[in-house]
Amino acid sequence: MPSNSNVRMQCPIASEIDLSFVDSIVERLGTSPSAAIPILQAIQKQYRYLPEEAMRRVCEISEITPSAIIGVASFYSKFRHKPVGRHLVSVCHGTACHVKGAELVHDALRRQLGIADDDDTDPDGVFTVQKVVCLGCCTLAPAMQIDGVTYGHLTHDTVGNALHDFLELERRGLVAKRFDLPNQHIKGLAEIRIGMGSCCIAGGSADVRAALEQAVNELAIPAAVKPVGCVGMCHQTPMVEIAGTNNDGSTAIYAKVDPADARGIVRKHFKPGGILRRIKAAFSSGLDNILTDESWAPVTRYAIDVRDEPVCAFLGRQKHIATELCGQIDPLDLDEYIELGGFEALRKCVTTGKPEEVIDIVKRSGLRGRGGAGFPTGNKWQLTRAVKSDVKYVICNGDEGDPGAFMDRMILESYPYRVLEGMAIAAFAVGANEGYLYIRAGYPLAVKRIRDAIERCKKRGLLGDKVFGSHFSLKLRIMEGAGAFVCGEESALIASIEGKRGMPRLRPPYPAESGLWGKPTNVNNVETYSLMPYIVKNGAEAFAKFGTMTSKGTKVFALAGKVTRGGLIEVPMGISVREIVEEIGGGVPGGRKFKAVQIGGPSGGCIPAEMADTAVDYEALTSAGAIMGSGGLVVLDDQDCMVDIARYFLEFTQHESCGKCTFCRVGTRRMLDILDRLCTGHGKHGDLETLENLAHMVKRGSLCGLGQTAPNPVLSTLHYFRDEYKAHLEGKCPAGRCKALIKYSVTDDCIGCTKCAQHCPVQAISMTPFEKHEIDQEKCIRCDTCMQVCPVDSIRVE
Amino acid sequence: MLCILIKRIFGLSAFRVFAIKSIMPNITIDNKQISVEPGATILDAANKLGVKIPTLCYLRGHSATTSCMICVVKVNGGSNLVPACATVAQEGMAVESDSDDVHSARRMALELLLGDHTGDCVGPCQSACPAHMDIPLMITHLSRGEHHEAIKVIKDRIALPAALGRICPEICEKVCRRGIHDAPVSICLLKRFAADVDLQSGSPYMPECKPATGKRAAIIGSGPTGLSAAYYLIQEGIACAIFDSRPEAGGALRYEVSKDRLPNDVLDAEIAIIQKMGAKFELNSAVTGATLEHLHRDYDAVLLAIGKIEPERAQALDIQMTAHGVKVDKHTMMTGALGIFAAGAAVVPSKLAVRSVGEGRAAAHAIAHHIFGKPIKVHDRPFTVRMGHITDEEMAVFMAYASSSGRTKHSGNGLTPNDTSNEAERCLHCECSKLRACKLRDWAIEYDASPNTIKGRSKKLERYDDHPEIIFEPGKCISCGICIAIAKDAGEPLGLTFIGRGFDVQVGVPFSEPLSKGLRKAAKKCAQACPTGALALKEQFQGDSK
What mean pLDDT do residues A471-481 have? 96
DSSP per residue over B302-348, as a string?
Answer: EEE---S--HHHHHHHT--B-SSSB---TTT-B-SSTTEEE-GGGTS
Of the residues B64, B98, B132, which one is the last residue of a structural domain? Answer: B98
∠A609-A612-A614 over CA atoms, to 5°?
Answer: 145
Q: With 60 as the cut, is the pLDDT of residue B5 above it?
A: no
Helix (H, G, I), strand (E, B) or coil at A74: coil
Q: How many CB pairs under 8 A join A and B?
A: 153
Read off the pLDDT of residues A739-751 as tens digits, 9 standing for 90 and up: 889 889 999 999 9
Question: Which pLDDT band, with edges at 50, 70 and 90, does B95 fall under?
Answer: very high
Q: With 50 as the cut, is the pLDDT of residue A771 above it?
A: yes
Residue from A1, A489, A491 to probe the interface with B (highest B Cβ count within 10 Å): A1
Of the residues B371, B403, B436, which one is the last residue of a structural domain? Answer: B371
Helix (H, G, I), strand (E, B) or coil at A281: helix
CB atoms B115 and A71 under 8 Å: no
Q: With 90 as the cut, is the pLDDT of residue A228 above it?
A: no
Pair A122, A243 in one domain = no
- CB contacts of A668 in chain B (<8 Å) are 503
Question: Which pLDDT band, with edges at 50, 70 and 90, does A118 fall under?
Answer: confident
Read off the pLDDT of residues A171-188 as tens digits, 9 standing for 90 and up: 877 665 444 444 444 555
Helix (H, G, I), strand (E, B) or coil at A577: helix
- Nearest CB among B112, B484, B494 relative to A662 is that of B112
Helix (H, G, I), strand (E, B) or coil at B28: strand
Of the residues A510, A537, A564, which one is the last residue of a structural domain? Answer: A537
Q: With 60 as the cut, is the pLDDT of residue A614 above it?
A: yes
- CB contacts of A68 in chain B (<8 Å) are 497
Domain limits at B180?
A: 124-204+387-426
Pair A505, A620 in one domain = no
Nearest to A564 by CA among A595, A585, A594: A585
Q: With 70 as the cut, is the pLDDT of residue B12 above it?
A: no
Q: How far is CA A658 from CA A70, B485, B499, in A?
A: 15, 18, 11
Task: Examine residue B442 and state whether it is found in any structural domain, yes or no.
Answer: no
What mean pLDDT do residues B518-530 have? 96
Pair A398, A499 in one domain = yes
CB atoms A666 and B510 under 8 Å: no
CB atoms B503 and A669 under 8 Å: yes
Pair B279, B226 in one domain = yes
Pair B91, B140 in one domain = no
Q: With 80 as the cut, is the pLDDT of residue A136 above it?
A: no
What mean pLDDT do residues B188-200 have? 96
Q: With 70 as the cut, is the pLDDT of residue B186 above it?
A: yes
Q: How far is CA A630 from CA A327, A545, A603, B37, in A?
A: 22, 22, 9, 40
Nearest to B207 by CA among B260, B158, B245: B158
Task: Number of helices (H) and strands (E) in chain B: give both, helices first.
Answer: 22, 14
Please report the pLDDT score of residue A295 as a whole number: 35
Question: Which pLDDT band, with edges at 50, 70 and 90, does A561 fall under?
Answer: confident
What mean pLDDT do residues A441-468 have? 92
CB atoms B499 and A697 under 8 Å: no
Helix (H) or strand (E) holding A254: strand A252-254
Which of A197-206, B66-75, B284-293, B499-508 has the lowest average pLDDT? A197-206
Distance CA B120, CA B131 (A): 18
- Nearest CB among A2, A658, A673 relative to B506 is that of A2
Q: With 80 as the cut, is the pLDDT of residue B96 above it?
A: yes
Distance CA A698, CA B454 (A): 13
What mean pLDDT do residues B423-452 have? 94
Task: Examine residue B175 and state whether it is found in any structural domain, yes or no.
Answer: yes
**More confident position, A303 or B225:** B225
Residue from B58, B87, B111, B499 to probe the interface with A (highest A Cβ count within 10 Å): B499
Task: Examine residue B110 and state whether it is found in any structural domain, yes or no.
Answer: no
Of the residues A537, A566, A600, which one is the last residue of a structural domain? Answer: A537
Per cent of chain B over pLDDT 70 is 95
Query: A34 vs chain B: nearest CA distance in angstroms?
Result: 17
Q: With 90 as the cut, is the pLDDT of residue A594 above it?
A: yes
Q: With 60 as the cut, is the pLDDT of residue A451 above it?
A: yes
Q: With 70 as the cut, is the pLDDT of residue A293 above it?
A: no
Pair A440, A475 in one domain = yes
- CB contacts of B69 in chain A (<8 Å) are 661-663, 701, 703
Pair A509, A363 in one domain = yes
Pair B220, B362 in one domain = yes
Question: Which pLDDT band, with edges at 50, 70 and 90, does A312 fall under?
Answer: low
What mean pLDDT do residues B498-503 have? 96
Please report the pLDDT score of residue A274 as a whole number: 58
Query: A646 vs chain B: nearest CA distance in angstroms?
Result: 19
Q: With 80 as the cut, is the pLDDT of residue B8 above it?
A: no
Nearest-by-CA chain A residue for B78: A700
Please report the pLDDT score of residue A249 as a whole number: 64
Task: Examine residue A50 and state whether it is found in any structural domain, yes or no.
Answer: yes
Pair B197, B222 in one domain = no
Average pLDDT, chain A: 86
CATH number at A386 reads 3.40.50.11540
Domain limits at A482?
A: 341-537
Distance CA B125, CA B386 (A): 12
Query: A488 vs chain B: nearest CA distance in angstroms?
Result: 15
Task: Examine residue B114 and state whether it is found in any structural domain, yes or no.
Answer: no
Read off the pLDDT of residues B98-127 as tens digits, 9 standing for 90 and up: 999 999 999 999 999 999 999 999 999 999
Helix (H) or strand (E) holding A453: helix A444-459
Whole-number CA gyration radius for chain B: 28
For residue A51, how many other CB atoms are within 10 A of its CB? Answer: 24
Question: Which pLDDT band, with edges at 50, 70 and 90, does B542 fall under?
Answer: confident
Query: A375 vs chain B: nearest CA distance in angstroms?
Result: 18
Please report the pLDDT score of residue A176 as a whole number: 55
Task: Examine residue B112 and state whether it is found in any structural domain, yes or no.
Answer: no
CB atoms B512 and A9 under 8 Å: yes
> Where are the extended beta strands (E) located within A58-189?
87-92, 127-132, 144-146, 149-151
Please report the pLDDT score of residue A412 as a whole number: 93
Residue from A665, A682, A687 to probe the interface with B (highest B Cβ count within 10 Å): A665
CB atoms A7 and B499 under 8 Å: yes
Pair A593, A669 in one domain = yes
Q: What is the ipTM of this complex?
A: 0.88
Task: Examine residue B337 and state whether it is found in any structural domain, yes or no.
Answer: yes
Read off the pLDDT of residues B24-50 as tens digits, 9 standing for 90 and up: 999 999 999 999 999 999 999 999 999
Read off the pLDDT of residues A703-744 as tens digits, 9 standing for 90 and up: 999 999 999 999 999 999 999 999 999 999 999 888 889 889
Read off the pLDDT of residues A401-450 as tens digits, 9 standing for 90 and up: 888 778 898 899 889 999 999 999 999 999 999 999 999 887 888 899 99
Please report the pLDDT score of residue B379 as a whole number: 67
Pair A598, A675 in one domain = yes
* Region of A181 on the Ramachandran plot (φ > 0 left; ψ -120 to 50 alpha; else beta): beta
CATH number at A120 reads 3.40.30.10
Query: B497 vs chain A: nearest CA distance in angstroms?
Result: 5
Of the residues A306, A327, A357, which one is the last residue of a structural domain? Answer: A306
Read off the pLDDT of residues A156-168 as tens digits, 9 standing for 90 and up: 778 888 898 888 8
Residue from B108, B111, B453 to probe the interface with A (highest A Cβ count within 10 Å): B108
Pair B48, B11 in one domain = yes
CB atoms B500 and A9 under 8 Å: no
Please report the pLDDT score of residue A216 as a whole number: 82
Question: Which pLDDT band, with edges at 50, 70 and 90, does A211 fall under?
Answer: confident
CB atoms A67 and B487 under 8 Å: yes
CATH number at B461 reads 3.30.70.20
Question: Which pLDDT band, with edges at 50, 70 and 90, does A650 fall under?
Answer: very high
Please report the pLDDT score of residue B543 as a whole number: 64
Residues A624, A607 contacting (CB under 8 angstroms): yes
Please report the pLDDT score of residue A378 as a whole number: 96
Nearest-by-CA chain B residue for A502: B501
| Terminal Cα-to-Cα distance of chain A (whole angstroms) | 49
CB atoms B512 and A660 under 8 Å: no
Give the number of domains in chain B.
4
Q: With 90 as the cut, is the pLDDT of residue A325 above it?
A: no
- CB contacts of B515 in chain A (<8 Å) are 1
Q: With 90 as the cut, is the pLDDT of residue A341 above it?
A: yes
Residues A399, A509 contacting (CB under 8 angstroms): no
CATH number at B53 reads 3.10.20.740
Q: With 90 as the cut, is the pLDDT of residue B515 above it?
A: yes
Nearest to B122 by CA among B168, B177, B169, B160: B177
Question: Which pLDDT band, with edges at 50, 70 and 90, does A309 fall under?
Answer: low
Read off the pLDDT of residues A503-545 as tens digits, 9 standing for 90 and up: 999 988 999 999 999 999 999 999 999 999 999 999 999 999 9
Helix (H, G, I), strand (E, B) or coil at B364: helix
CB atoms B488 and A67 under 8 Å: yes
Please report the pLDDT score of residue A361 as a whole number: 96
Burial status of residue A623 (CB atoms within 10 A of its CB: 0-12, 13-18, 19 or more)? exposed
List phi, psi (to 5°) of A549.
-55, -45
Residues A691, A697 contacting (CB under 8 angstroms): no
Average pLDDT, chain B: 91
CB atoms A3 and B479 under 8 Å: no
Please report the pLDDT score of residue A662 as a whole number: 96
Residue burial A206-216, b: 16+ Cβ < 10 Å; e: rest: bbbbebbbbbb
Helix (H, G, I), strand (E, B) or coil at A524: strand
Nearest-by-CA chain B residue for A80: B500
DSSP annotation of A584: I
CATH number at B186 reads 1.10.1060.10
Task: Write the single-letter amino acid at A368.
Answer: R
Residue from A67, A658, A672, A690 to probe the interface with B (highest B Cβ count within 10 Å): A67
Q: With 90 as the cut, is the pLDDT of residue A565 above it?
A: no
Q: Which residues contact A623 (CB under 8 A, 6 or more apart)?
A: none
Q: With 70 as the cut, is the pLDDT of residue A782 above it?
A: yes
What mean pLDDT do residues B151-173 have? 95
Query: B115 vs chain A: nearest CA distance in angstroms?
Result: 9
Task: Examine residue B308 and state whether it is found in any structural domain, yes or no.
Answer: yes
Pair B534, B471 in one domain = yes
Nearest-by-CA chain A residue for B80: A700
Question: Which pLDDT band, with edges at 50, 70 and 90, does A498 fall under?
Answer: very high
Please report the pLDDT score of residue B1 as a whole number: 39
Distance CA A271, CA A88 (A): 45
- Nearest CB among B479, B496, B515 relative to A659 is that of B479
What mean pLDDT do residues B407-432 have? 90
Q: Which residues contact A129 (CB under 8 A, 6 or more apart)?
A: A89, A91, A106, A109, A110, A113, A115, A120, A121
| pTM, two decimal places | 0.88
Query: B104 vs chain A: nearest CA distance in angstroms?
Result: 10
Read off the pLDDT of residues A676-685 as tens digits, 9 standing for 90 and up: 999 999 999 9
Residues B220, B293 contacting (CB under 8 angstroms): no
- Nearest CB among A501, A656, A697 relative to B105 is that of A697
Pair A287, A384 in one domain = no
Task: Examine residue A372 and state whether it is found in any structural domain, yes or no.
Answer: yes
For residue A517, how many other CB atoms are within 10 A of its CB? Answer: 12
- CB contacts of B68 in chain A (<8 Å) are 661-662
| Terminal Cα-to-Cα distance of chain B (whole angstroms) | 72
Residues A254, A256, A257, A260, CA torsion sign:
negative
Q: With 50 as the cut, is the pLDDT of residue A593 above it?
A: yes
Task: Examine residue A9 and state whether it is found in any structural domain, yes or no.
Answer: no
Give the number of domains in chain A.
6
Q: With 80 as the cut, is the pLDDT of residue B287 above it?
A: yes
Task: Examine residue B439 and state whether it is found in any structural domain, yes or no.
Answer: no
Please report the pLDDT score of residue A337 as a whole number: 94
